[in-house]
Amino acid sequence: MKQLQKNIRRVAIFLCALFVLLAAWGAYSLLTYGSRWFASSANTFMRTRKKNVIAGDILDRNGVVLATSYNGERIYQNDLSARKATVHVVGDSGSNVNNSAESFFASYLYGFNSSFLERLSFALRGEQRRGDAVRLTVDCRLSTYIASIFPSGKAGAVVVMNYKTGEVLSEQSFPTFDPQNITASVKSDPQKPFFNRAIQGLYTPGSTFKMVTAASAIENYTNYNTIAFDCTGQLTLGNRVITDAGTNLKEDKLTKHGVIDLKKAFQVSCNNSFAQLALQLGDARLRKTAEDFGFNDNFLFRDVVVENSSYPTSNRNDGEIAWTGAGQSALTASPLHMCMIGAAIANDGVMMEPKLLISATAPNGTQRAGLTAKVYRKPLTPEQAAVLKEYMRAVVTGGTGTSANISGKKVCGKTGSAEIDGQEFTNAWFVGFLDETSSPYALSIVVENAGGGGSVAAPLARKIFSWMLKNGFVQ
């Protein structure tokens, strides 16, 4: 009998422990994934709630109303250009854009966080309940300007952020669409205008990944600045032939850089040199550096859902490792993540979590949520970041990114021309920043099937930074 009582007690303790663990896991999951579950299109409770609550306004960082509610309908701003330029970050009433402000911040917009007294106040007044007003970090004017200069007919993305705070000033995907006039042609467009390439698009980063490869060399070698590479124009590893931009093997035309050091290899974006460097580093060390920058991590940011970037872990022969060092192979990254990498270099090695929400304010004026800067990672020491800043400055002053240069300002950057099977042209990349204390801004640009990063994306960076400097983006 005593043994039976002991067994029952043990089972009871075990079940209690399981219950506590389940409760703890539930609390953790709600805290970690709550916003994502809440924003899901499968959330029938939220769909029902939308019918009974007047959705709060969505505003940009300067108070410009991007979305409001009128007579039971969701209305977006009057200016068509501005409306289209902000559609991917704001969203649309039909939830065609995944994880936009309309869905991701629905708990605020539809009053799910309001107190009993707030609800009672609306009921006593006989008024339909209103949700909170959500103020975003994005700048409508900046987004509209960027949309006006992005190559017509091309798909791609642009992200601009404050590298000190993580505030995202522009999160744009192309092509855009009008949320108040979604036609059949928009729905059937093969370029998929509903798809938010800035946060969902997983691209081969091309030579912009050389920021990471160079960082790995700086971290692992004390003599990084004296390492020499001999670029003969091509490097053959198994069935993989690595060449540089401008090479045409059919015409026996090779781009050769000769014997160069790491800084020069970075400046001229030498694939052969970075392929050799990756082989010297080895896959394990290069992967570790990439993972320090967030590759292979599960991004769980408070304000934005970002697709996870990937550093390949299979099929790691010499050819693939070498090609990874140059930014190709099976590497994938979103434009927002690549912007974060450039921003970390600009911010003395500190990578900030991207932020989209400045505030959520209740109808009675109570502030429900506010902006708090948060460090995501520290992939570099300040000294290592300073070396990479110097390299990226050299790219703009005398390398592949001279088209991004602005007289009198310190623009730093890295170009990329990512080769994609089946495309006529490469994807054009530029990741860079203003090394200016009063203007701490970084950006990432990708233009699909457009050509070289230096000739296509770098001039866009110059225009964007120039516009920002002329239009008050100075702290």
pLDDT in tens, 168-178: 999 999 999 99
pLDDT digits (tens, 9 = 90+) for 371-419: 999 999 999 999 999 999 999 999 999 999 999 999 999 999 999 999 8
Q: Residue 329: which region, alpha, beta or left (left: phi > 0; alpha: psi -120 to 50)?
A: left
Task: Label residue 43 by pLDDT band (50, 70, 90).
Answer: low
Task: Give a yes or no: residue 193 inside a domain.
Answer: no
What average pLDDT does the chain have?
89
Are 333 and 205 spatial neighbours (Cβ–Cβ below 8 Å)?
A: yes
Task: Give a yes or no: residue 304 inside a domain.
Answer: yes
pLDDT of residue 28: 43
Task: Give a yes or no: residue 447 inside a domain.
Answer: yes
Task: Label residue 110 by pLDDT band (50, 70, 90).
Answer: very high
Of 418, 473, 472, the closest CA to residue 447 belongs to 418
Examine the pLDDT at 1 and tell me if it is beyond 70.
no
Q: For residue 127, count CB atoms less than 10 angstroms from its CB and return exposed for 0-12, middle for 13-18, buried for 19 or more.
A: exposed
Buried b (16+ CB within 10 A) or exposed e, 259-285: ebebbbbbbbbbbbbbbbbbbebebeb
Task: Label residue 59 by pLDDT band (50, 70, 90).
Answer: very high
The whole-angstrom separation of Cα 87 and Cα 97 is 8
Count of the separate structural domains present in the chain:
1
pLDDT digits (tens, 9 = 90+) for 130-147: 889 999 999 999 999 999
Provide the domain limits for residue 215: 206-357+376-470
Task: Give a yes or no: residue 191 inside a domain.
Answer: no
Task: Give a yes or no: residue 123 inside a domain.
Answer: no
The whole-angstrom separation of Cα 214 and Cα 274 is 8
Tokens at residue 474, please?
């100075």
Instruction: Write down how long the chain is.
Output: 475
Task: Give a yes or no: residue 403 inside a domain.
Answer: yes
Buried b (16+ CB within 10 A) or exposed e, 217-240: bbbebeebeebebebebbbebeeb
The whole-angstrom separation of Cα 414 and Cα 445 is 11
Task: Give a yes or no: residue 73 inside a domain.
Answer: no
The whole-angstrom separation of Cα 223 and Cα 220 is 9
Listed in sequence order, the residues at least 6 apart from 424 whose beta carbon sits closer than 8 Å to its beta carbon are 449
The whole-angstrom separation of Cα 321 and Cα 319 is 6
Task: Give a yes or no: residue 401 inside a domain.
Answer: yes
The whole-angstrom separation of Cα 389 and Cα 398 is 14
Give the start-end residues of each E strand in 276-410: 351-352, 357-361, 367-370, 375-377
DSSP assigned state of 77: -
pLDDT of residue 72: 84
pLDDT of residue 342: 98
| CATH number assigned to the domain comprising residue 247 | 3.40.710.10
Examine the pLDDT at 30 and tell me if it is beyond 50.
no
pLDDT digits (tens, 9 = 90+) for 195-217: 999 999 999 999 999 999 999 99
Tokens at residue 211, please?
């920021």
